[in-house]
Chains A and B, each alone.
Chain A
Amino acid sequence: MRKKVIFKGIALPWLLLLPQLLITGVFFFWPAGQAIYGSFLREDAFGLSRQFVGLENFTEVLADPNYLASGWTTVIFSTSVAFLALAAALYLAVQADKAIRGANAYKTMLIWPYAVAPAIAAVLWLFMFHPQIGLFGRMLNGLGVPWDYKLNGDQALLLVILAAAWKQVSYNFIFFMAGLQSIPKSVLEAAAIDGARPMRRFWTIIFPLLAPTSFFLLVVNIVYAFFDTFGTIHALTGGGPGQATTTLIYKVYVDGVQNLNFGSSAAQSVILMVIVILLTAVQFRFIERKVHY
C-alpha cells in the first residue's frame, strides 16, 4: 500500500531534480571522469606534453611494494579508527543517556570535537604527544617509555589512529544518542522487572535495536577513515616516519599534489574508488541482511 504522487508534466520534476543533478555532475561525475581519463595518461607537470599509456599507470602502481604496504597500513588504520570511534561513541552515548545530573552539559561537551577542523585536531594531539614539547610526550619519556613518534613507525600509526578516531566520536555519538532515544522505555522497563541486569539489557535489547544505526555508522566510518583523515595525517606525521602512516588517500595526495605525478595519482584514485564501491556493496549485501529495521 504505497501512495504515489504523480506530477502532471515532465518539466517540474526535472526542474526540482536539476540542482541536485548539477551538483552531482559538477562535483562528482566530472572529476571522477577526469580521474579515469587521467589514469591512462602520462604527462609532465605543466601539461605541455601528454602520452596515452594504457594500463601502464595501474600495473606500475600495483607492482610497487610501497603502494601495497600503504594498502596494508590503510586496512589497519581504517578498521582501528572505525572500531575505536564506534565503541567509544557507543559507550559514551549509553552513559550520557542515563538519568544523570548535567546530562546536557556532557552531551554538549561530547559533540564539541566535531566542530574542530581536522588539521586543528591534529595540532591539539601534536601538542599533547610531541616528544619534546608535548605534555604527555614528556611524561611518557619521563616515565621511561621511549616515546618518539617521529622515528617510531608503530607509535606514529597509533597516534594518527587515536587522533582520527577521536575526531569521529562526536559524530557517532549524536547518532547513537538519537538511536537510544528511539528505543521504547517500556521494553527496557519490562526487562528490568523481569530481573535483567543492565549488562544483559544492553546486549539483548539495546544493542540489537541499535543495529540499523550501527550499520549506517559503520559504512560512514569506513568511508571517513578512507577519505577524510587526510588532514589529520598531513598535520601530524606527513605520512612518516618511513611510510608508516601513509594511507592510500595520503599517497594519492603526495603523488598528485606534491610530486606532480598526475597519471599515477589518477590511477590510485580510480583504484581507491573501486575499493570503496566494493566495500560498500559488500557491506550492504552481507551485513545489512543481519540488520533488522
Chain B
Amino acid sequence: MFRRTLMAGAVALAGLIGPVAQGQAQAQDRTEIQFWHGLSQPLGGLLERLVAGFNDSQTQYRIVPTFRGSYPETMVAAIAAFRAGQAPHLVQMFEVGTGTMINAGRAIIPTHELLSQTGVNINFDDFLPGVRGYYAAADGRQMAMPFNSSTAIVYYNKDAFRRANLNADQFPTTWEGVGQALQALKASGHACPMSTAWPTWLHLEQFSAIHNIPLATQGNGFGGANAELRVNNPLVLRHLTNLVNWQKEGLFRWGGRDNAGEALFPNGECAIMLTSSGFRARVQREARFDWGVAMLPTYEGTQPANAIIGGASLWVMNRGPNTQRSAAELRGIAEFFAYTARPEVAGKWHMDTGYLPITRSGFESARATGFYNQPANIGADVPIEQMLRGASSENTRGIRLGGFVEIRVIMQEEMERALQGQQTPEQALTNMTTRGNAVLRNFERANRGG
C-alpha cells in the first residue's frame, strides 16, 4: 500500500516531465505512441530495431519503445500508470497476465475493436491457431495482438547420451522411456541427468495441454471467470510423484523457480533440460558439446495433443479511467500491428530471436530463405511442429485464469514443498487446488462490477 502510493507519486512526477517530451514530438508533427516492453537485451534491442523499421516506413506516427523491467514489472507499472491516468498506448504483456487484461474493462481497447474503428485489416486466419487462440475471446474475437510467442521443448546432451549407450538421435517420446534414460545416464556417471526451468509452465500447464486434460474447468477459464482448478487428477499426480521419486534417487534436480534452472544445461551439468524454445540461442552460444532438441514426452497410452505457448502479446490501453485515445493514436497503433504481421517482418523477427513464427506466411518466408536447412538451425522447426501436432481441443487453447501470476507462484511453492519431502504429491495437488481456487474466487468477485 505504501509502495502503491509511492508509485503513484513517481508516476505523477513522470507526468510533469511528459509534456516536455510531447512538445518536442509535435514540433516534428508525428503522432507519438508510447510502447512499454519487458524484453531485456539482446531481445530488447531486436524489438527496438523492429520498431525503428516501422517508424522509417511511414511519416505520420512514431512508436517510442521503453524498457520497463521484467514482464511482471512491466505489468505492474502499466496498471499503476493507468490508475494515475498515465498509461502507455501499448504494453507488452506476458501470457500469464492475459486473464487479468481481458477482464480489465475500459482500461483496454480490444484489438478487434481497434481494427474495426480504424478500418485497418489484419488477416488473423494466417496466424497459428495456438497463438491466435491464446489471445482471443471465447467467441473468437481478437483481444490482443500476438507478438512474441515461444513454446516448451526438450534440450538434451547428445554426448552424454552416447556415453550412456543411448540412441543420441532419438530422444524418448514417452516419460517411461525418459525414466529409463535417466537411470542409464546416472549409471554412466552423469551427476545430474535431468533438470527443468519454468516448473509449473512445463510440468502442469504444458503437461496438461499435450495430454489433452484440463488444467481448469470452463475450458481452462476461456468460458468464464467461474473456472476452478483441475490439477488434482491421476495423470498429473503420477507425473509429480515421478518427479519427487526421481529427485530422491538423484535422477532429477530442482533448478529453482522461473528460468533459474536453465544455467545447468549449457555448462554440461545436467544432461536433459526442459525449457522454452527461446533458450536455443543461448545453448548455441555457450554449449561446448553435441546437443539436440526434441518434443515434450507424454505418458504411454495417451495421444499427444498440441503444446501451448508462452511469451507475450501487445495490448492497447486507455490513458486512464476517464480519458480516451484520439483517432490518430488508434490509427497509428493499428498500422503498427499490421506492420508486425507482414510476412517478411514476422519471419525476420522469428529468425533473429528464436521466437515462434506466429503467422504461416512468416513461417513460409523464413523457410524460403533456407533458414531451416542451415546446419546451425537444424531442429529449429521442432517447436513449430509441436504447436501443430495432434488434435486441438479446449484443453490445448491456452490458459485464461484471473490472478494467474499468483496461482503460478502458489503452484511452485507447493511443488517445492513436495520435493522437500514436507508433503506428499497428493497433498501438494490438493493444496494447489484449494489455494488457487481461493485466488480465482477473489478475482471473480473483484471483477464482477467491471
A positions within 8 Å CB-CB of B = 30-32, 34-35, 38-39, 42-51, 66, 132-133, 148, 150-153, 238, 240-243, 252-254, 256-262, 265-266, 269
Cα A133 to Cα B256 with chains together (Å): 13
Given the complex, which residues of B lie within 8 Å of A260, measured CB to CB?
76, 79, 100, 403
Interface centre among B257, B416, B442 (most CB of A within 10 A): B416
Cα A47 to Cα B85 with chains together (Å): 11
Cα A66 to Cα B257 with chains together (Å): 19
Instruction: Give how many A-B residue pairs fall within 8 Å (CB-CB).
Output: 116
Could you pull out 13 A-B pairs where Cβ atoms are within 8 angstroms?
A44-B446, A46-B105, A47-B82, A48-B106, A49-B447, A49-B448, A238-B257, A241-B413, A242-B413, A253-B3, A259-B406, A265-B1, A269-B2
Q: Count of B residues near A, CB < 8 Å?
A: 47
- Shortest Cβ gap from B251 to chain A (Å): 15
Given the complex, which residues of B lie within 8 Å of A152, measured CB to CB?
420
Interface residues of chain B: helix, strand, loop or mixed (majority): helix
B409 interface residue (CB < 8 Å to A): yes
Per-position binary interface string of chain B over residues 264-288, scored 1 when its CB falls under 8 Å from any chain A CB and 0 otherwise:
1000010000000000000000000
Cα A35 to Cα B417 with chains together (Å): 33
Cα A262 to Cα B406 with chains together (Å): 13
**Contact between B417 and A48, CB atoms less than 8 A apart:** no
B263 interface residue (CB < 8 Å to A): yes
Contact A241/B76 with A51-B449, A132-B264, A269-B1 known, Cβ cut-off 8 Å: no
Given the complex, which residues of A lie within 8 Å of B6, measured CB to CB?
31
**Contact between B403 and A259, CB atoms less than 8 A apart:** yes
A-B pairs, 7 with minimum CB distance: A49-B449, A241-B416, A35-B1, A259-B406, A266-B1, A46-B107, A242-B417
Given the complex, which residues of B lie within 8 Å of A256, measured CB to CB?
1, 3-4
B138 interface residue (CB < 8 Å to A): no
Contact A241/B417 with A132-B264, A150-B256 known, Cβ cut-off 8 Å: yes
B412 interface residue (CB < 8 Å to A): yes
B450 interface residue (CB < 8 Å to A): yes
**Smallest CB gap from A48: residue in B:** B105
Cα A261 to Cα B100 with chains together (Å): 12
B254 interface residue (CB < 8 Å to A): yes
Cα A260 to Cα B403 with chains together (Å): 8
B405 interface residue (CB < 8 Å to A): yes
**Contact between B420 and A243, CB atoms less than 8 A apart:** no
Given the complex, which residues of A lie within 8 Å of B43, measured CB to CB?
none
